[in-house]
Amino acid sequence: MNLITSTVGLRRLAAALLIVSATPLVSQAPTDLNLLLVNVEARLKAGFAYKSWTAASTMTRTEYDRHGEIVKVTFARKNVRVVDGNRDEDIIQATEIADGKTRDTTADFAKESKKNWERERQRKAKGEKGRSMDLDEIMPFAAKRRAFYNYSLQPAEGEGGRKLVALAVKAKEKDTKNWDGTYWIDPATYDIVKAEVRPSDNPTFVRELWAKADLSLEDGKYLFIARTIFKIDAGFLFVKNVRMLVDDAYTDVKILN
């Protein structure tokens, strides 16, 4: 399963990174960090062992000027279908609010969506990186990646008093490909409940970039990224500036495998 990191498909990432310092663990938290990492890696492999799914999506995209003032808000409702990693979107309705006016942009939004996902398929067919990011790039728990990160734990609490642990991950070497983050994990199941990430070093011309994801459990065994919030502020001087916050929530999820 991929996470999207382009300025159009920035919908599977999101919110501010909270790098926390290690503190003594309470009895509910795992005391063996290495064991936790091994089990989380295994849980991610099993939880994302699917390539096809469908869901309804509600997206809000807010664009800003250089002063942080809102200039445009776009709302979109979509039906999303992913088959073998290839994504298609059926745009039900899109509305844009700008300059105090509201207009229906369904046709334009659908055209934009189709064009961008077609480009993504073409990149994949050519073996190019494209705008997609592998899950383990922003969730670096695999054994081959652990030597490049520092990990620390502290107890945390989720909704309804759910006992969690907060795992802070920080890249040893700052690089645009290495992401820092905090991951809230259920120590009983090793499910990642939510994540907050940002690159350890921003790409060129990027002033701000962060992402947040909430994960859900589907069919009692699959992990699904049910909501993402993504913020980007990038551009060179006044050329091609992109300042936006994208909030994308998924419901009616069906794993097709």
Q: What is the pTM assigned to this prediction? A: 0.81
State the Cα–Cα distance between residues 70 and 210, nearest whole angstrom: 19
Q: Is 12 helix (H, G, I), strand (E, B) or coil?
A: coil
Summarize pLDDT for 8-51 with one digit per residue, the tens: 333 333 333 322 223 333 334 444 899 999 999 999 999 999 99
Q: Can you tell me the mean pLDDT for 167-173?
A: 96
Q: Give the integer Cα–Cα distance in Å for 74 and 173.
A: 37
* Rounded alpha-carbon distances, angstroms, from residue 182 to 27, 153, 171, 187, 222: 20, 10, 12, 15, 21
How many structural domains comprise the chain?
A: 1
Read off the pLDDT of residues 99-120 as tens digits, 9 standing for 90 and up: 999 999 999 999 988 888 788 7
Residue whose tokens read 């979509």? 78
The domain of 201 spans 2-255
Sort 225 into a burial class: Cβ within 10 Å, 0-12 / 13-18 / 19+: buried
- The SS3 call for residue 43 is helix
